[in-house]
Amino acid sequence: MKRTFVVGALLTSLLVLGACQKTETTVTTRSQLSGIKKDSSTSITNSSSKEMRTSSSQSSVVKESTEVETDVKSIAQKQFVGKIFLISPMLYDGEDASQAMEENKAPQNLIHDGASTVRFTNETTAHIELAGTYRPDYDTQYTLTENQLSIGQHTIPYTVKNGVLTFDTWTTDMDGHTVTWGITSASDSTETTSSTSSVDTKNLTSEQFKQWVGAVLDQQFSMGRPSFSYKLSVENHEGYAYVRVDDSEKQVDTIDMFRINSSGQLEEQDLTHGYPATYKVVSSQFMDTSAVKETNN
């Protein structure tokens, strides 16, 4: 009986010891699992945080880039909106464009169809006045990026350095020839009136004389005179400076004549009573066309 008791006690001890080991193992396993879950959660949190920081960084770069582009465009627009600029050819196949024009090396429509005065009315619209051959003035849309201005047939590069806008030259192909263009800032309307009124019309340059005649012709065209592609040439006869007006595309007789009289006024040939021609004053102030009337020439 005693032996039976001892054996029973031994079996009971073994059972209790096994239960304790199982409990310890269960606790240990749960603790390990808890640690794994915690580490996994921490890893996911850190990964998520890293992704958010990366996303935030990329967003910051995009925002900064957009702000820089907007700032450059804003600076550029502030310096040309409301102002007048002249777009004109500078070089023709590497030669001076105006000289090539005079020597008939360049297409006759180079100046007429290319040169234009542009007033940037607002942030999207520009008013165009074509030089030479008469065409009605017109408004057109333009677009602006952080490094170029696109208007009509021209894509004009520009830079902004230290807050100052500078237009660069650009090239186009015209009838198989390379033409280099430039854009220069002109005065606003108030300054233009002031500068033109101070010009001594008794001592005009050839270019000023032709500009004045061109302004009168354009005004006449707007009043109903048939338009044509014209060529202007300066001559001197009997103490007067003349500008002869010829059709640059057709072989016809001289179409019109202008001259500067001794008082510095611009006069136009009058054939109302036939030959010999007389002359009548059409403008008394440089580039002023307010007194120009429709002509019968």
Helix (H/G/I), strand (E/B), else coil: 123: coil
- Report which of 213, 230, 209 is spatially closest to residue 134, judged by C-alpha positions: 230
- In a domain, residue 181? The reply is yes
- In a domain, residue 193? The reply is no
- Please confirm whether the linkage preceding 136 is cis (ω < 30° from 0): no
pLDDT at 191: 42
DSSP state letters, 189-230: HHHHHHHHHTS-TTS--HHHHHHHHHHHHHHHHHTTPPP--E
- In a domain, residue 273? The reply is yes
- In a domain, residue 191? The reply is no
pLDDT at 27: 45
- In a domain, residue 13? The reply is yes
- Residues 11, 63, single domain; the answer is yes
Domain end, chosen from 76, 109, 132, is at: 76
- Residues 90, 172, single domain; the answer is yes
Domain end, chosen from 151, 186, 221, is at: 186
- In a domain, residue 45? The reply is yes
pLDDT at 150: 92
Domain that residue 65 falls in: 1-76
pLDDT at 137: 67
- Residues 58, 95, single domain; the answer is no
- Residues 37, 125, single domain; the answer is no
What is the β-pairing status of strands 164-167 and 95-96? unpaired
φ and ψ of 95, to 5 deg: -100, 160
- In a domain, residue 114? The reply is yes
- Residues 90, 39, single domain; the answer is no
- Residues 162, 215, single domain; the answer is no
Q: Global pTM?
A: 0.44
Per-residue pLDDT of the chain (297 residues; tens, 9 = 90+): 545 555 555 555 555 555 545 444 444 444 454 554 555 555 545 555 555 555 555 555 544 544 545 588 888 888 888 888 888 888 888 888 877 766 767 765 555 555 677 888 888 998 887 664 444 567 889 998 888 999 888 899 999 888 888 899 999 887 788 889 998 877 543 344 445 557 888 888 888 888 899 889 988 888 888 888 888 888 888 778 899 999 888 888 889 999 999 889 999 999 888 888 899 999 999 988 888 887 665
Strands (DSSP E) along 10-94, which ranges? Answer: 84-92
Domain count, the chain: 3
Q: Pull the structure tokens for residue 256.
A: 């019109």
Burial class from Cβ neighbours inside 10 Å (0-12, 13-18, 19+) for residue 283 reads buried
* Identity of the amino acid at 132: G
